[in-house]
Structure 1
Amino acid sequence: MPTPISGFSKLTKEEKINWLATQYSTESKSTIAILKNYWNSDTNLQQLHDEFIENTISNFYLPLGIAPNFLINNNLLAIPMAIEESSVVAAASRSAKFWLERGGFKATILGTEKVGQVHFIFKGDSKKLTTFFGKIKPVLLSSTKHLTQSMEKRGGGILDIVLRDKTDVLPDYFQLHCTFETKDAMGANFINSCLEQLAKTIKDEAKKYSSFTQIEKEIEMVMSILSNYVPNCVVRAEVSCPIDDLNVKADITPIAFANKIVRAVQIANVEPHRAVTHNKGIMNGVDAVVLATGNDFRAIEAGVHAYAAKDGYYRSLTSASIKENIFNFSIELPLALGTVGGLTSIHPLAKLSLEILQKPSAEELMQIIAVAGLAQNFAALSALVTTGIQEGHMKMHLGNILNQLEATVAEKHILTKRFSKETVSHTAVAEALKDLKNN
């Protein structure tokens, strides 16, 4: 039975590992060896990684792959993708090659506005609060000048502050709804610092406001925090081509293929169970590039899925249509990203990924990531409406199965060649490997 520990964070990395192995592992020597095996031999690089988070004991690696041949707004790019799931990079690459020969992807920024809110409780006359806010709004803005000056020089800053009365959903609940432009920074620290200053200022000003009663002067600040829901920080990506150019497989006509894609998207628009998996496939492409560039995939996931349900019903993030014999396929995504600050500036592979992408601005990175999501969805739908998703996926997954079964290099070579013409399943591969070992 493990025992609680005090002062764990003060232990050295070696001491943390030894304690963990002793308390929570039946094979302590093996546990220690595995953790140390994933340390970087470059001590300076390892120290850098150790300092990203607290209580670091080792590194957890993800493969970094490249999906080439992405033509985006007439720029040819190779997209770095950090992901562990088989077939994602291959699918993206396949889509990129397909659309490269049909004019490539077009992407447009629809907005870059980010959001933060000051949540507070006001027990009093809401009309008096509205009047008070109107008088002190210039004071609120001026109180943040020491925080916004640098951002304003880059063309960013606080765009607006709006008082919102939310008492219809929660008694005495109000908020300052603030919008920001943060240019190439994701801007979380900037936004949160501004919000905390705004909260302090409104609280201080309320105490001096003569029209408030004593109770009204005591505004209760609940929290000040950015929102990861950014419905006005949106990018659109799209592809289109004549129907006759959709010659994906010999056994299906281009018009039949186009109609199947349109119908698949329609289903994802009316059936939430399908929509969730449909959008998860999109996020395979999105998250892989978000991770590779040192951005926050949890924030992106939360914001994107909220956007998919913005009208109160969870729907597809992509759209497909046929008009005048032209097939159109598009996506709109809310993406709050950064190309400066945070891990983008200090993680060596994140910096390299941005360099491979030709050092994009935040807006350009929004376009690239939206395209990756659209490409992923096109590949998934193309497989689903023709051969099915498993044929290609399981062939890519074959290597993982062989590793699980501890096949040798020679055995992997033989079985990879064999299953290039056979259906891949865990059972079939296990039986084939058993027969190979017995002969």
Structure 2
Amino acid sequence: MTISNLSSRIPGFHRMTTAERLEAVAAFSGLDGATVAQLGAPGNIDPHLADHMIENVVSTLSIPIGIATNLRVDGKDVLVPMATEESSVVAAVCNSARQCYETGGFVTSVSGNLMIAQVQLVGVPDPHGARLRILERRDEVAAICDGCDPMLVQLGGGFREMEVRVVPSLGGPMVVTHLIVDTRDAMGANAVNTMAETLAPSIERWTGGRVLLRILSNLADRRVARARATWPAEAIGGAGVRDGMIAAYHFAEADPYRAATHNKGIMNGVSAVVLATGNDTRAVEAGAHAYAARDGRYTSLTRWEAGADGALVGAIELPLPVGLVGGATKIHPTARACLKILGVTTAAELARIIAAVGLAQNFGAMKALATTGIQQGHMALHANNVAIAAGAVGEEVARLAATLVERRAVRQDVAVAELERMRGARTA
């Protein structure tokens, strides 16, 4: 099977067998035989590698990797691997992307690759004076930081700037130095943490204070990714659907109780791509939620409005500190295979695609909420899980799932009883 013109529009992709889908992805992404074999292996991680990734290893947990189709990002068609256990997440992105494909898909940008490390200083009698003494040493700070990672400097990264703040706290004022570092195609945690720890003794010497914490901030607001897209009103069901979705956004923008679930839905898509590529889901999630509260109250990560032509226009901004080198992105073979599918060559490209997926995910959730409700589509897919949990095998899974959906009773007790009835009727 070959995919013509490298289009992410693959008709019937969800109806293919697993092997057929993998073949289609391999053709699209030009994967070699070893990569295809890695993706096709049921466990797909060597026990020796797992034992050296974390401590006390006894096993591995395989999470399904689905492919989001229909995505066009900055004029280029991409297939996006998503690792998730939750039903309907991948389908929502596929459907959302399809509905804006003809209007150009997603347009993205990034603010840069800058990460922040914090050095906490306490015990100085003159915190404002200490702040200035640190700022006066900028060139020394730059030399110390760049000396920690000459390879990063050779690649065009390294120290860029510093900020020093006096932060009021329950224990009195503390002086906090921010080291702002270009980490290029690495997520950068190890690099900036090393710089902060190396710089600490100098800050103590310059100020007479005592350094405590020396670590990165996961509020990576110097590493923001953005995406926008347009959905014609007729493509999504008309002006009524559009206005209902905008009202749903207004709810999330105004109310933190709604915003928490609204943003969780966005992160369903974001975290699935982050996980598939071996990046740090917890860092990305922490930064995104902190960014949603950056103005003093927790609110939506997305913005939705009606364009001049009546179309629905959506946009997203969130920190995306992801990398292509270092950590699991470099050593986990399946993460490397997923990066090959994406075809990205820089961390910025990866962040742009993830932002587009987050916006698509949000569109799908809001459209469902504003029309049929979230459960209709979600429960139809979740019914398969319930059927398997009840003991269904082979062709029984699809039959039992369809029955549960038809009865509007996607429940474990109903599934068990219905499976017994099905089997009894077959043997009668």
Please report the TM-score for the alignment, with normalisation by the length of structure 1: 0.82
Rate the CA distance shift 1:112–1:392 in 2: closer, same or farther, 3 A: same
Q: Specify whether residues 279 and 401 from structure 1 end up closer, same or farther in structure 2 by C-alpha distance, changes over 3 A only.
A: same
* C-alpha distance 102-414 of structure 1, shift in aligned 2 (>3 A): same
Q: Provide the secondary structure at the position in 2 that maps to 1:108.
A: strand
Q: Deviations over 1:105-144 (max 9, x none)?
A: 1111134322111001132223542443244332222223
Could you tell me how far apart the structure 2 residues matched to 1:73 and 1:322 are?
22
8 Å Cα contact 1:70-1:97 kept in structure 2 = yes
Amino acid in the other structure paired with 1:189: N
Matched, 1:113 2:114: yes
CA distance in 1 between partners of 2:129 and 2:107 (Å): 50
Cα distance 1:387–1:345, how it changes in 2: closer, same or farther (>3 A)?
A: same
What is residue 157 of structure 1 aligned with on the other side?
158
Equivalent in the alignment of 2:262:
278
How many angstroms does 1:167 deviate by?
Answer: 4.0
Q: Residue deviations 1:160-201, cap 9 Å, x none?
A: 122211246641411112211111000111000111111122
- Written as runs of structure 1 = structure 2, the 5 A alignment for 1:97-246 is 97-167=98-168, 170-206=171-207, 217=208, 219-246=209-236
Trace 1:270-349 onto structure 2 (pairs within 5 A).
270-324=254-308, 325-349=310-334
Match of 2:419 in 1: 433
Greater Cα offset, 342-351 or 61-70 = 61-70
Assess, with a 3 A threshold, how the Cα gap between structure 1 residues 99 and 360 changes in structure 2: closer, same or farther: farther
Consecutive unaligned residues of structure 2, counting only runs of 5 or more, are: 1-40
Pick which of 53-62 and 116-125 moved more: 116-125
* Cα contact 2:152–2:158 (8 A) shared by 1: yes
Answer yes or no: is the 8 Å Cα contact 1:148–1:158 preserved in 2: no
Displacement of 1:403 after TM fit? Answer: 1.4
- What are the Cα deviations for residues 328-352 of structure 1, in whole angstroms up to 9, with x where unaligned? 1111111111011111110000000
- The one-letter code of the counterpart of 1:320 is W
Q: Which residue of 2 aligns with 1:359?
A: 344
* 2:382 corresponding residue in structure 1: 397
> How far apart in 2 are the matches of 1:203 and 1:348?
43
SS at match of 2:103: coil
Contact 2:128 2:166 in 1 (8 A): no
Tell me if the contact between 2:108 and 2:227 (Cα under 8 Å) persists in the aligned partners. yes
Match of 1:95 in 2: 96
CA distance in 1, matches of 2:406, 2:148: 62
Q: TM-score, normalised by structure 2?
A: 0.84
Q: Counterparts of 1:20-35 in structure 2 under 5 Å?
A: none
Q: 1:87 to 1:131 in 2, by over 3 A?
A: closer
Q: Deviations for 1:12-31, whole angstroms, at most 9, x for unmatched residues?
A: xxxxxxxxxxxxxxxxxxxx
Determine the structure 1 residue equivalent to 2:24.
Answer: none
Give 1:407 shift: 1.8
Q: Percent identity between the aligned chains?
A: 37
Instruction: Tell me the secondary structure at the aligned position of residue 109 of structure 2.
Output: strand
Residues 1:199 and 1:69: Cα distance change in structure 2 (over 3 Å): same
Structure 1 stretch 280-289 or stretch 197-206: which is displaced more?
Answer: 197-206
CA distance in 1, matches of 2:44, 2:343: 29
Match of 2:28 in 1: none
* More displaced 10-residue stretch of structure 1: 226-235 or 89-98: 89-98
| Partner SS, residue 314 of structure 1 | coil
Q: Distance in 2 between matches of 1:103 and 1:41?
A: 36
- What SS is found at the alignment partner of 2:260? helix
1: CA distance between counterparts of 2:110 and 2:146? 28
Partner-residue secondary structure (3-state), 2:71: strand
- What one-letter code is carried by the residue in structure 1 that aligns with 2:287? G
C-alpha contact 1:119 1:224 (8 A) present in aligned 2: yes
1:28-51 CA distance string (max 9 Å, x none): xxxxxxxxxxxx999992101111
Could you tell me how far 1:327 is from its partner in structure 2? 1.9
For the pair shown, the structure with the greater C-alpha radius of gyration is 1
Distance 2:361 2:54 in 1: 31
Aligned equivalents of 2:116, 2:422: Cα separation in 1: 60
Shift of 1:237: 0.7
Question: For residues 67-93 of structure 1, what are the alpha-carbon distances to aligned partners after superposition, in whole Å with 9 as ceiling and x for unaligned?
Answer: 112111111111001110111111111
Letter in 2 for 1:129: A
Partner AA of 1:310 in structure 2: R
Q: Determine the structure 1 residue equivalent to 2:400.
A: 415
CA distance in 2, matches of 1:373, 1:41: 28
2:6 matched to which residue of 1?
A: none
SS of the counterpart of 2:137?
Answer: helix
User: Which deviations, in whole Å up to 9, do the C-alpha atoms of 1:259-295 show, x marking residues without a partner?
Assistant: 0010000001111111111111110000000000000
